[in-house]
Structures are given as structure tokens and as C-alpha cells.
């Protein structure tokens, strides 16, 4: 790779954007609406899924820009949302596990979309859960329905009514609102309040191709996953209709992006594409060619700089992401380049297992540092004796029925080598590891070097074996979950990793 190109891609970027426009004139700046479903991948009509019933999201794509290669840096709720809100990777902001298990940001004063926009004159709101610690770091002006609502007892009409209440109270002030839907999180519920009116059945669907498994039981779960998606689509339609009816649509940038992929094997919680690849659609001011599709590598850390540029506010220095506005233009750049990074820690003690992935062009590397095997995340999908199991995991019969190719890939998931290498152009479902193929020794070497440079540039604590060992030890020490009953509990790695990073910043 040309060294100047390498430097451009991997050096953490220093923003060069000055304030533009008149921030005192609300009409000069758009409103911003985030629509964020749970646990939903590319199972949408506009992404080519023949089983999806998503007319409203498909319509959003027809009037906006659809990104085909968007990813999240961590395929669990809290870290993914922390990345989108802070514009930082998990190891940069510190949120490397679930908020329900006391994971949190390194610092409560971490700048984020809310603090930036409020300082810039925006009214800010959220409908649905935040699920990032500490919640005080995100001083929304308005917060409705703060619970997860996974039991679906709070009617979705309340989400629409809360959104309308929020923007009606803005009274001309530019606003930012995040609406967070409980679907399609487990449990996959067939119908809620009569929706969908005609639910799909097991005979009408197939599992995502990257799962590689099939059975009547799994197809039933999958059908209900699609029914969850149909509900999300219906309520997105209601919110967008309300936006239009209330005269707010023309000056509102709508950003539809899921937190991560669905909870199937090799999905949620992992660094495989089924987990980290997510839909991203943007509509509204700045979209020059409605209905276009962009294939560049983008990430949810790009959302903060995109929102700040739309709001005509200065970008902080040394953000890892960049504004997506050039990709919305009539003549998008042809040299976007870029890379994608993702990581997992397992998100809570019993699932603790560290992996990172790094993508350049068509090539993707998965790095598994030294630690005990088997992979605890895989065990939660494959081992009925694991502390946490999910209904979409495989039972013994379903696993025995896997094809030899898929069975071999599952075994690599459970007992991964240090490096896995995939050619996503030829193998988008990541079945064929090429790390040991002599023909691809150069590709492996290039990806390993790029990943190491990324770790260095972004001060990744897991690049230090001492930090890795300390984290794994700490998680193992809390298998009893006593942190749940310990007042003011804080994981030791929060302060340790923060100090490790700050020391290296000074040097």
C-alpha cells in the first residue's frame, strides 16, 4: 500500500471544519431525527431481502441515500449506542460492555452529540431507552419512555405521541430527537396489539445465510423476527407521517440506523458481518440524489461528525470518523477509502471473550489475542450448559445437521486461531478462512500491520497484554454478579484503561 494513502486512512483525523452558516438562525439548520431499532440487520426489502415486508423503510430509501456497507464497532446495544453518540470507538470512550452490567464511559464529561448540540442551540430529546452509563453524560432536554420495553407492554402509539410532543414544544428551535424501538430484540414476538395483521410463518422465511443452519424450530423464530421487523416498519411509517403532517419533514434530516445485527448464531455479540453490518439510510437536507446507493465503508462513529456538520457546528479535533455529507452530494468523491473496525469483549462476565476485526477494501481480519478457549460468546449460542443461552441458538440435532463447511466454520468460532482472514467480495458470509493460505500471505501481513497501526493511533488498551490479562481476570472474578448489589460499583478497568491511555497521550 502507498505510504501516503496508508497515512491518510489510518492517522486519527484532525477536524478542519470551521463553523459555517448562522447558528442564531434556526431556519438555516435542519432538525435531526434518529430512528434506531434494536437488533436488526439487513433483512429489509430495500437491501434485497425477499422475505421482508418493509414498505415504509423502502420508501425512506427511495427518497434518501442507502449505505450498503455500514457497520457498528460493537454488536451489543450499549457500546454501539455509545459509539454513535460520542463519535468514538469503544476502547476510546470506555463503554466496552452492557450498561446493565455496570459498564460505562471512561469519563462522564465525554463530549457527545447531546452536549454539542445543546451548546449549539438545539433542543434535544430521546424516546425509548438510552442504555449508556452514566446517563447524566447525556443531558437531554426531553426523555420519554426510558425503559427497554422488551415485553412490548408500552404501546407504540406512545412513541409516536411522545415524538410529536417533543417537536411541537420546540417552537421554532432546531431539534435533535432519537426514537429507539424495542423490536427486533428477543423475545421475537409474533404479534403485538394485532400487528402485523398477517404475520409471517415458518414456511414463508429462511434464516439469514450467514447462520448456515436450518430447522422448523429456527424458521419459526426467524418468522417472528421478520414479524418484529414488520412492526418496526409500520411505526416508522407512522412517525414519518406525523413528521410530514406537522410540517416538520422538509427541514429534518432523518437517519435510520440499527444498533447491530440480529441475535442468531455468528450474529449479535460477535465481530462477524452478520453482527456488525447494519442498515443506514439518510433522507432530507443535503441529499442531492434521492434513491442513490453508496458502497463506501462507513461506520456509526461517522454519525456525530455528520450531525455536527449538518448543524453547522465545529467538529472536535481527532475524531476517528468523518462527516458523510460528501457521500450525499451529487458528485460523491471517488477516493473515499476508509476502513472498518469492530470489537467484542462478550459484554458481561460469563461471556467474556476478546476479539477485534479490521477491514480494508474486500479483506477482513479477525484477531483473537491469547486467552482461554472455547469462545464464551459462541458457547452462549451452542452450549446448552452455558450460563446464558438464547432461543435462536443451535441444539444438538441442529448442529449435527450442519454441512461440513459450516461445521468447520462453527468450530473456528468456538476455538479461533490468532488470525482469521476473509475475502468479503467472494465470501460475504465468512465461511472460508484464508489466513493459512500461502497465496494470501501478503494480504494477511498487510491487514495485521494495518490493525496494529490502528491500535497504536487510537490507543487501544487491548494491544497491551497486561491490560488484556487484567480485564479477563477481573471478569472471571465477578461471575457471581456481586457488582449488581455493590453500591457505587465501578469496574477497575475503567480507571486503569483511562490512565493507560492518558499516559500514552502525554508521550
Mean pLDDT value across the chain? 94
Percentage above 70 pLDDT, the chain: 94
Average pLDDT over residues 1-18: 40
Q: Give the mean model confidence (pLDDT) for residues 308-332.
A: 96
Query: pLDDT confidence of 27, banded at 50, 70, 90?
Result: low
The candidate with the shortest Cα–Cα distance to 46, out of 282, 285, 392, 332, is 282
pLDDT at 191 over 90: yes
Range from 3-17, 244-258, 420-434 carrying the lowest mean pLDDT: 3-17
Among the listed residues 406, 288, 318, the one whose alpha carbon sits nearest the alpha carbon of residue 93: 318
DSSP, residue by residue, 190-257 = S-BTTBSSS---GGG----TTT----HHHHHHHHHHHHHHHHHHHHHHHHHHHHHHTT-STTEEEEEE
pLDDT of residue 9: 46
Q: What is the mean pLDDT of residues 259-265?
A: 98
Residue 429 Cα distances to 262, 270, 477, angstroms: 15, 13, 35
Q: Is the pLDDT of residue 12 over 60?
A: no
Please give the share of the chain, as a percent, with pLDDT higher than 90.
93
How many whole angstroms separate alpha carbon 470 and alpha carbon 398?
Answer: 37
Question: What is the dihedral angle through the alpha carbons of 385, 391, 394, 398, rounded to the nearest 10 degrees?
Answer: 120
* Fold entry, domain 28-332: Alkaline Phosphatase, subunit A (3.40.720)
Closest C-alpha to 308, from 21, 2, 7: 21
What's the pLDDT score for residue 23?
A: 47
How far, in Å, CA of 477 to CA of 479, rounded?
Answer: 6
pLDDT at 1 over 70: no
Predicted confidence band of residue 21 (pLDDT cuts 50, 70, 90): very low
Query: Are 132 and 85 within 8 A, CB to CB?
Result: yes
Cell 419459526 belongs to 220
Characterize the bridge pairing of strands 292-294 and 298-299: unpaired
Of the candidates 335, 299, 344, 160, the one whose C-alpha atom is nearest the C-alpha of residue 243 is 160
From the list 109, 114, 111, the residue with the least C-alpha distance to 143 is 114
Per-residue pLDDT band at 20 (split at 50, 70, 90)? very low
Q: Give residue 388's pLDDT.
A: 87
Question: What stretches of 22-110 adopt beta strand conformation (E)?
Answer: 31-36, 64-67, 70-71
Lookup result for grid cell 432536554: 141
| List of residues 6+ apart from 286 with CB closer than 8 A | 30, 253, 310, 325, 328, 329
SS3 content of the chain, % helix, strand, coil (to 5): 40, 15, 50
Q: Is 160 helix (H, G, I), strand (E, B) or coil?
A: helix
DSSP code at position 12: P
Q: Once rounded to an integer, what is the mean pLDDT over residues 85-100?
A: 98
At residue 506, does pLDDT exceed 90? no
Query: What is the C-alpha separation between 265 and 173, in angstroms, rounded?
Result: 45
Question: C-alpha angle with apex 348: 495 to 182, nearest 5 degrees?
Answer: 115
Task: Note whether 28-332 and 341-506 share their fold.
Answer: no
Model's pTM, two decimal places?
0.95
Average pLDDT on 285-292 reads 96
pLDDT number for residue 168? 97
DSSP line for 19-35: P-S-TT-GGGS-EEEEE
C-alpha distance from residue 503 to each of 177, 496, 498, 506 (Å): 37, 11, 9, 5
Taking the domains of the chain in order of start, what are their residue ranges? 28-332, 341-506
- Evaluate whether 67 touches 296 at the Cβ level (below 8 Å): yes
User: Under CATH, what is the fold of the domain 341-506?
Assistant: Arylsulfatase, C-terminal domain (3.30.1120)
Looking at the DSSP assignment, which residues form a beta bridge with residue 144?
127
Q: Looking at 58-62, 208-212, 385-389, 398-402, which range is the least confident one?
A: 385-389
Q: Please write the tens of the pLDDT for every residue from 44-62.
A: 999 999 999 999 999 999 9
Amino acid at each position: 500500500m502507498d505510504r501516503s494513502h496508508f497515512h491518510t486512512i489510518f492517522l486519527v483525523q484532525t477536524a478542519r471544519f470551521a463553523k459555517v452558516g448562522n447558528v442564531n438562525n434556526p431556519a438555516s439548520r435542519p432538525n435531526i431525527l434518529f430512528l434506531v431499532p434494536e437488533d436488526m440487520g439487513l433483512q429489509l426489502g430495500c437491501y434485497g431481502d425477499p422475505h421482508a415486508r418493509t414498505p415504509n423503510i423502502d420508501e425512506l430509501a427511495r427518497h434518501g441515500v442507502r449505505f450498503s456497507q455500514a457497520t457498528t464497532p460493537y454488536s451489543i446495544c450499549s457500546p454501539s449506542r455509545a459509539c454513535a453518540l460520542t463519535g468514538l470507538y469503544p476502547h476510546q470512550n470506555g463503554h466496552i460492555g452492557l450498561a446493565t452490567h455496570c459498564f460505562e464511559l471512561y469519563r462522564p464529561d465525554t463530549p457527545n452529540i447531546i452536549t454539542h448540540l445543546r451548546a449549539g442551540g438545539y433542543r434535544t430529546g430521546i424516546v425509548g431507552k438510552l442504555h449508556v452509563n452514566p446517563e447524566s453524560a447525556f443531558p437531554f432536554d426531553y426523555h420519554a419512555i426510558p425503559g427497554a420495553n422488551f415485553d412490548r407492554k408500552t404501546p407504540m402509539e406512545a412513541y409516536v405521541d411522545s415524538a410529536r410532543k417533543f417537536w411541537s414544544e420546540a417552537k421554532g428551535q432546531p431539534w435533535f430527537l432519537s426514537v429507539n424501538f424495542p423490536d427486533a430484540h428477543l423475545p421475537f414476538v409474533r404479534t403485538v396489539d394485532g400487528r402485523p395483521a398477517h404475520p409471517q410463518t415458518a414456511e414463508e422465511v429462511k434464516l439469514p445465510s450467514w447462520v448456515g443452519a436450518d430447522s422448523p424450530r429456527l424458521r419459526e423464530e426467524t418468522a417472528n423476527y421478520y414479524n418484529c421487523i414488520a412492526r418496526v416498519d409500520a411505526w416508522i411509517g407512522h412517525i414519518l407521517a406525523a413528521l410530514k403532517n406537522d410540517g416538520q419533514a422538509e427541514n429534518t434530516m432523518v437517519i435510520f440506523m440499527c444498533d447491530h445485527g440480529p441475535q442468531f448464531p455468528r450474529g449479535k455479540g460477535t465481530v462477524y458481518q452478520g453482527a456488525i453490518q447494519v442498515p443506514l439510510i439518510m433522507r432530507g437536507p443535503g441529499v442531492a440524489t434521492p434513491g442513490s446507493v453508496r458502497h463506501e465503508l462507513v461506520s456509526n462513529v461517522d454519525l456525530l461528525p455528520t450531525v455536527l456538520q449538518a448543524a453547522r457546528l465545529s467538529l472536535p479535533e481527532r475524531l476517528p470518523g468523518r462527516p458523510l455529507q460528501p457521500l450525499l452530494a451529487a458528485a460523491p468523491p471517488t477516493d473515499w477509502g476508509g476502513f472498518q473496525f469492530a470489537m467484542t469483549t462478550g459484554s458481561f462476565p460469563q461471556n467474556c471473550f476478546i476479539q477485534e476485526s479490521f477491514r480494508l477494501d474486500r479483506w477482513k481480519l479477525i484477531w483473537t489475542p491469547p486467552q482461554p478457549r472455547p469462545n464464551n460468546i459462541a458457547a452462549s449460542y451452542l452450549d446448552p450448559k452455558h450460563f446464558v443461552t438464547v432461543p435462536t441458538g443451535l441444539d444438538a440435532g441442529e448442529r449435527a445437521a450442519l454441512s461440513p463447511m459450516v461445521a468447520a466454520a462453527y468450530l473456528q468460532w468456538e476455538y479461533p486461531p490468532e488470525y482469521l482472514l476473509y475475502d468479503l467480495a467472494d465470501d460475504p458470509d465468512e465461511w472460508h478462512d484464508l489466513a493459512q493460505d500461502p497465496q494470501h500471505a501478503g494480504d494477511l501481513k498487510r491487514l495485521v500491520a494495518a490493525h496494529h497501526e490502528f491500535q497504536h493511533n487510537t490507543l487501544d488498551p487491548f494491544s497491551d497484554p497486561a491490560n488484556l490479562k487484567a480485564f479477563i481476570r477481573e471478569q472471571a472474578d465477578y461471575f457471581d454478579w456481586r457488582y449488581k448489589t455493590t453500591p457505587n460499583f465501578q469496574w477497575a478497568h475503567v480507571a486503569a484503561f483511562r490512565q493507560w491511555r492518558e499516559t500514552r497521550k502525554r508521550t
